């Protein structure tokens, strides 16, 4: 049983290498069928124009998402470690499935946009990971990565190619999709044994500071996320500017509402770590449109407020009434702000901020992103519930020592004296 | 009373949105009144040429300054959290006040240099924040942000447009200005109750490591800070090269003098976290001039030495004799090296390294930056002293639990068992 | 005696400034002897094209290597602090020795490639530092930096100019060289007193998380490392793509084999921190060749596997049988993967993936990199063993308090109660 995880990882890597051998090629000048454009730039030139934006996104995926989830006191290794594992698998798989959908039977030629989109596709899984953090095993996450990215690529193709909707910062196709997919999985895998919470489901002082590393790198580079695949020129420029100001406005309302809803006007680290980013999510769909900077700031302000209110009032209801336990509160950071982004996009298109789409097509894109995510997540949840994968017991949730070698220090460390030696899995890892 | 902070934050954000609605526009090709230059590049092209440098500066502001201040054992949430809050407010306000001063009655068109300058303007507040860290409330910091950026923009306009002085890396207008403004505020808000120090005013092992995250990202990206708004071409190039070598030289003297002045030749983490950066500050004014790399290295070496000596001998004198308590030692990292930078600029201009200015104009710029900072800081301090804002009591200084929800762990955490339950403010937050 | 370190640091900085005054100049348009190329770009233009890649490498050197070594529970200050010190010295010295070797008697003109190569040259020392981490003093590291970079520059000149071999990502000239140099030093400085290990030679929970900051920034920016000095165009492009996919594949096998070789299928943080990077090292030599992405993935997969097996089975043998104690396991992260990279380069050239070299020349480059590293390391080790430098006693190994001021907190901190007050050096620091 202990061989399932390594054999699955090796098997998946062998499959990836085989598929790359069959379907993937370099981008070379010979591959460029059309004559060079008037600007005289080749694809390889364009590669290094966008490379800094790609690297910003890359930092968001591996440092941003990875550290954002280290807030739990005993689950930092898994947060940052499994984040790396599934993102590394996801970017290979995302390259393939997105490439095959777009290449119309030809070989996939790796350009900078393929690499950016590969990183993007991993973001959906990392968002969903936040909803089930601490409650499932690395092996389950490998399976979920394969399923979710395939479904994501299908929905993204539907939105972009069939509905011809616009969603440059992926409020709908990544953020709402990833959140609702994760919530559906969390619903299927609901553990009534944890309904009164778990001792490990809290932070310590320095785990909250580690999480702020994630928050800040996500916050800083979000303008690159929203503009990385925008059309060069005015649209790319506006995607940066709108996101920059939306995020700045969002910080003010996130702090204000955190203080308003908390006991004696204090701030809550969970809100600061997450709700300050909601402005980046919510401005995504219309980031490249000519909506005016002050409108971006209004969108960001609303997102910051809604996100805090979601953490305070909605997450507890989800856990108790809907039996959906959302460890990181991804519904508040990605779900609700993603829906706000989708709605803002419908309004913006209706008001003529973009002539690339129609309100109906935008609404279809929002609906399909949420609907397909929920259906996909339910199916994925049922597959992940199969006893063959193993799953941590209720007692072992949110505990690195289930998956990681315990060094000698742990015996001496006061943070870890509880539950020591009780690392049994159901049925087994 | 507990509503003052959130209502102020919301009020300020509403004001920002309103002012953006009135004064701010996108940069569009229609806005460009002059015909395209011979290099055929539009403003939007130039935007993405400078975007990587903007992002480097962005990392410095939010991760660099934020984590640099996490060295205190119980004040990490506030250091990195209030840093984010005031920088997010400051970049909106800085866009407005700098834009209005430069736009001569026209709308402000957001280009990359506006965004870089907006980030720069927040740096002054973050530097001043270091002088008062742990002693004032988030509400007071919002007020200080609004006042200081307005004064900064006025002085910067005076230096650049009236004196026509050159200060490409802002040794005078940001570093010296921010330090002396902060020291003046700290002087007005001096608490005799803290003259024998405070139990919380010390680091723990991992808080010092968190601070090194800030130090390193500041150190790494400082060449971008000093070159981001330099004239394209040779000047921009020299600003990078001079800063790179000044910083490298500064590290060696900072380590050497830290070991020289400390007990038994050991190194002091405070010096390493701060004095290693002094070379970036001190080379700022003449960074883009043809001063020769070895001169940059001499400037950096002197700055590293002076900064360590300041921490060792000057900061204690300030606290006891001048009744100015400088929590982070910003006088040693930004004040003294900023003055060295200003003086180096006078000498460099006198020796003909730049024909853009005269020694007298450089001296006027240095004098106005320090003088206006002190006067502005005194006025800001008096405003911040008004009882309406609330202020932490002496006992509550340097303690996150005054402003942040205290999770359950804190009861169990040996670092926090002292003073628990004594979170009263004067008069109230 | 306590003055040796500061005086050496000051003396070296004075020497650097003097040598820069004699040999180093700015790159200016006048320095460019050839007419502008057809693409009309000057060297200064090219400077800012590569500047983002330079900054990525800069982050790897100072944050990546620095934090990667913070995994030891009591040696974080020294890991990140001495890393900064020796990299700051090394980049000045590397600029000089590499510049003099390449400038053929003319002045050294600082371009972006000089700066990238200067950062590269420090990487060799930082790799070797990992082998002796915790066992030698800052003064010894200054000496080692001067010696190793001189030897490195000689070998690099031999490989590139005499053998005309290709090694774009420096698998051989940096990674294998740095590892075998460090192992040779570690062998000479072997301490039989530590043969049963040391209480300090272990991690704590948060020190392992700090190390992951280093791992992730190295992982993210490795494509920039391997492409930064590649020929513009297809080769630069392929260096990015091959490294990106090699690293992704490497993560999967590193996790799989970590789980396979560890007790009950758990993961080991040491493997995750290090072996996930082996793919970047191993693909280095042939990164810019047209080897096909799936071949990169195979190289990365093998490197991840070999690296984990090295940590598990080879490092203990080295320590006990060969009397070479490798603190960070650099042999597994840089040594073995560097050799794999060199061998892959020989095969790739033999199969015609590059016409810039021959298999024999590649083999000569691999042999010289390892051979010169070992001989240089043995000589450096003998010099470092001279009693004049001082060296921590066995008892004081891996303990920051030997070199750093111990703040008051340390008395209260349970991690540091052992050995307190026993900071004697042999003969003296």
Model pTM above 0.90 = yes
CA distance C337 to C177: 11
Q: Indicate the pLDDT class of residue B418, thresholds 50, 70 and 90.
A: very low
- What's the whole-number mean pLDDT along residues B127-140? 97
CA distance B69 to B75: 8
Q: pLDDT at position B30, please? A: 53
Q: Are C153 and C92 in contact (CB under 8 A)?
A: no
Residue of C nearest to B210 (CA): C210
Residue A68: its chain B contacts at CB < 8 A? none
Find which of A10, A96, A107 to mutate to test the C interface (most C CBs within 10 Å of its CB): A10
Residues of chain C with pLDDT under 70: 1, 29-45, 406-429
- Whole-number average pLDDT of chain A: 91
| Residue B427 reports pLDDT greater than 50 | no
Q: Indicate the pLDDT class of residue B42, thresholds 50, 70 and 90.
A: low
Maximum alpha-carbon separation in chain C: 68
Q: Distance, in angstroms, between C373 CA and closest chain A CA?
A: 33
DSSP lists the bridge partners of residue C267 as A404
Within an 8 Å CB–CB cutoff, is residue B222 touching chain C? no
Q: Are B84 and A216 in contact (CB under 8 A)?
A: yes
CA distance B142 to B149: 11
Q: pLDDT at position B33, please? A: 45
How crowded is the C-beta side of B186, counted as CA atoms within 13 Å?
31
φ, ψ of residue A391 to 5 degrees: the values are: -160, 145
Instruction: Identify which has the larger pLDDT, B27 or C180.
Output: C180
Q: How many CB atoms lie within 10 A of CB A97?
A: 21
Q: What is the CA radius of gyration of chain A?
A: 21
Neighbours of chain A (3+ CB pairs under 8 A): B, C
Find which of C39, C48, C60, C422 to mutate to test the B interface (most B CBs within 10 Å of its CB): C48
Residue A50: its chain C contacts at CB < 8 A? none
Find which of C60, C215, C217, C248 to mutate to test the A interface (most A CBs within 10 Å of its CB): C248
Exposed (0-12), middle (13-18) or buried (19+): which is A387, by Cβ within 10 Å?
exposed
- DSSP class of residue B35 equals P
Nearest to A59 among C53, C220, C298 (CB): C220
Within an 8 Å CB–CB cutoff, is residue A344 touching chain B? no
Exposed (0-12), middle (13-18) or buried (19+): which is B355, by Cβ within 10 Å?
exposed
CB pair distance less than 8 Å for B269 and C89: no
Instruction: Identify which has the larger pLDDT, C98 or A37.
Output: C98
Q: Are B263 and C405 in contact (CB under 8 A)?
A: yes
CB pair distance less than 8 Å for C252 and A9: yes
Q: How many CB atoms lie within 10 A of CB A168?
A: 27
CB pair distance less than 8 Å for B237 and C88: no
Q: pLDDT at position C411, please? A: 40
A401: three-class secondary structure by DSSP: helix
Residue A45: its chain B contacts at CB < 8 A? none
Q: Indicate the pLDDT class of residue A40, thresholds 50, 70 and 90.
A: very low
Nearest 10 degrees: Cα torsion A255, A258, A262, A265: 20
Residue of B nearest to C22 (CA): B294
Exposed (0-12), middle (13-18) or buried (19+): which is A33, by Cβ within 10 Å?
exposed
CB pair distance less than 8 Å for C6 and B247: no
- Pairing mode of beta strands A425-426, B24-26: unpaired
| Residue B405 reports pLDDT greater than 90 | no
**Which B-chain residues 361-420 have CB contacts (< 8 A) with chain A?**
403-405, 407-410, 413-416
Query: What does the pLDDT look like over C255-305, one tens digit per residue?
Result: 999 999 988 899 999 999 999 999 999 999 999 999 999 999 999 999 999
Tokens coding C254: 């590193």
Query: What does the pLDDT look like over A153-179, one tens digit per residue?
Result: 999 999 999 999 999 999 999 999 999
How crowded is the C-beta side of B109, counted as CA atoms within 13 Å?
14
Nearest to A220 among B13, B27, B62 (CB): B62
CB pair distance less than 8 Å for C256 and A404: no
Residue of B nearest to C82 (CA): B255
CB pair distance less than 8 Å for A209 and B44: no
| Residue A22 reports pLDDT greater than 80 | yes
In b/e form, how buried is each residue of C169-187, taking b as 16+ CB within 10 angstroms? bbbbbbbbbbbbbbbbbbb
DSSP string, A179-219: HHHHHHHHHHT--GGGTT--TTSS--HHHHHHHHHHHHHHH
CA distance B251 to A366: 53
**Which C-chain residues 84-113 have CB contacts (< 8 A) with chain B?**
84-85, 88-89, 91-92, 110
Q: pLDDT at position B407, please? A: 62
- What's the whole-number mean pLDDT along residues B301-330? 97
- What's the whole-number mean pLDDT along residues A375-381? 98
* Strand ranges in B56-130 using DSSP code E only, listed in sequence order: 108-110
**CA distances (Å), origin A175, targets A160, A180, A278, A297:** 16, 9, 10, 19
DSSP lists the bridge partners of residue C316 as none
Nearest to A9 among C209, C240, C256 (CB): C256
Within an 8 Å CB–CB cutoff, is residue B63 touching chain A? yes
A·B CB contacts under 8 A: 168
Query: What does the pLDDT look like over B180-224, one tens digit per residue?
Result: 999 999 999 999 999 888 999 999 999 999 999 999 999 999 999
Tokens coding B426: 């004067």
- What's the whole-number mean pLDDT along residues A113-122? 97
- Pairing mode of beta strands C391-392, C108-110: unpaired
Residue of C nearest to A58 (CA): C220
Give the end-to-end CA distance of chain C in Å, rounded to a whole number: 7
CB pair distance less than 8 Å for C80 and B212: yes
Q: pLDDT at position A29, please? A: 62
Q: Indicate the pLDDT class of residue B31, thresholds 50, 70 and 90.
A: low
| Residue A17 reports pLDDT greater than 90 | yes
CA distance B55 to B77: 24
CB pair distance less than 8 Å for C204 and A413: yes
Tokens coding C384: 């470092």
**Kindly report the CA angle at C403 between C401 and C408, in degrees rounded to 5?**
40
CB pair distance less than 8 Å for B210 and A209: yes
Q: Is the peptide bond before C427 cis (omega within 30 degrees of 0)?
A: yes
Q: Are A234 and B29 in contact (CB under 8 A)?
A: yes
Residue of A nearest to B58 (CA): A220
Nearest to C265 among A5, A63, A81 (CB): A5
**Which C-chain residues 263-302 have CB contacts (< 8 A) with chain B?**
none
Q: pLDDT at position A37, please? A: 45
| Residue A129 reports pLDDT greater than 50 | yes
Tokens coding B175: 């570093």
Q: Distance, in angstroms, between C158 CA and closest chain A CA?
A: 31
CA distance C232 to C234: 7
- Whole-number average pLDDT of chain C: 91
CA distance C341 to A239: 41
Tokens coding B145: 């942000």
Q: Are A239 and A227 in contact (CB under 8 A)?
A: yes
Instruction: Identify which has the larger pLDDT, A79 or C197.
Output: A79
For residue B26, what is the enclosing H or E element?
A: strand B24-26
- Pairing mode of beta strands C108-110, C24-26: parallel
Q: pLDDT at position B389, please? A: 93
Q: Are A308 and A275 in contact (CB under 8 A)?
A: yes
Tokens coding B393: 């009591």
List all residues 6 or more positions away from B216 whose beta carbon is below 8 Å from its beta carbon: C62, C63, C66, C80, C84
Give the end-to-end CA distance of chain A in Å, rounded to a whole number: 7
Q: pLDDT at position C240, please? A: 98
Residue A89: its chain C contacts at CB < 8 A? 248, 251-252
Neighbours of chain B (3+ CB pairs under 8 A): A, C
Nearest 10 degrees: Cα torsion A349, A354, A358, A361: -90
Q: Distance, in angstroms, between A260 CA and closest chain C CA?
A: 33
| Residue A416 reports pLDDT greater than 70 | no
Lowest mean pLDDT among A388-397, B27-36, B45-54: B27-36
Neighbours of chain C (3+ CB pairs under 8 A): A, B
Find which of B51, B68, B74, B209 to mutate to test the C interface (most C CBs within 10 Å of its CB): B209
CB pair distance less than 8 Å for C237 and A44: yes
List all residues 6 or more positions away from A33 whose beta carbon is below 8 Å from its beta carbon: none
CB pair distance less than 8 Å for A405 and C262: yes
Find which of B216, B218, B300 to mutate to test the C interface (most C CBs within 10 Å of its CB): B216
Q: How many CB atoms lie within 10 A of CB B337?
A: 34
């Amino acid at each position: 049983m202990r061989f399932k995880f390594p054999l699955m990882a090796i098997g998946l890597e062998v499959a990836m290498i085989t598929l790359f051998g069959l379907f993937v090629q370099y981008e070379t000048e010979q591959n460029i069928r059309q004559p060079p454009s008037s600007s005289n730039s080749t694809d390889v030139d364009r590669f290094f124009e966008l490379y800094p934006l790609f690297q910003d996104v890359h930092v968001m995926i591996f440092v941003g998402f990875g550290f954002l989830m280290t807030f739990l006191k005993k689950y930092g290794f898994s947060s940052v470690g499994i984040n790396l594992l599934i993102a590394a698998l996801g970017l290979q798989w995302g390259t393939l499935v997105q490439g095959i959908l777009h290449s119309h039977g030809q070989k996939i030629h790796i350009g900078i946009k393929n690499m950016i989109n590969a990183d993007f596709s991993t973001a959906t899984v990392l968002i969903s990971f936040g909803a089930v953090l601490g409650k499932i095993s690395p092996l389950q996450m490998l399976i979920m990565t394969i399923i979710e990215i395939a479904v994501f690529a299908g929905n993204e193709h539907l939105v972009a190619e069939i509905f011809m909707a616009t969603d440059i910062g992926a409020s709908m196709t990544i953020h709402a999709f990833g959140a609702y997919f994760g919530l559906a999985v969390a619903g299927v895998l609901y553990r009534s044994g944890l309904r009164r919470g778990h001792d490990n489901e809290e932070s310590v002082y320095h785990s909250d500071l580690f999480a702020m590393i994630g928050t800040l790198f996500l916050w800083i580079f979000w303008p690159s996320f929203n503009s990385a695949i925008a059309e060069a020129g005015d649209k790319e420029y506006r995607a940066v500017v709108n996101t920059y100001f939306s995020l700045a406005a969002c910080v003010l309302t996130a702090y204000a509402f955190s203080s308003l809803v908390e006991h004696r006007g204090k701030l809550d680290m969970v809100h600061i770590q997450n709700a300050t980013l909601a402005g980046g999510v919510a401005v995504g769909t219309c980031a490249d449109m000519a909506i005016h900077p002050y409108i971006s700031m209004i969108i960001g302000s609303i997102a910051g407020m809604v996100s805090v209110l979601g953490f305070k009032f909605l997450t507890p209801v989800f856990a108790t009434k809907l039996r959906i336990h959302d460890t990181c509160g991804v519904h508040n950071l990605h779900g609700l702000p993603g829906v706000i982004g989708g709605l803002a996009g419908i309004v913006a298109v209706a008001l003529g901020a973009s002539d690339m789409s129609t309100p109906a097509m935008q609404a279809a894109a929002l609906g399909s992103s949420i609907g397909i995510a929920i259906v996909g997540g339910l199916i994925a949840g049922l597959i992940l519930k199969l006893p063959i994968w193993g799953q941590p017991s209720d007692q072992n949730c949110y505990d690195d020592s289930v998956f990681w070698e315990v060094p000698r220090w742990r015996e001496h460390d006061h943070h870890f004296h509880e539950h020591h030696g009780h690392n049994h899995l159901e049925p087994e890892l």
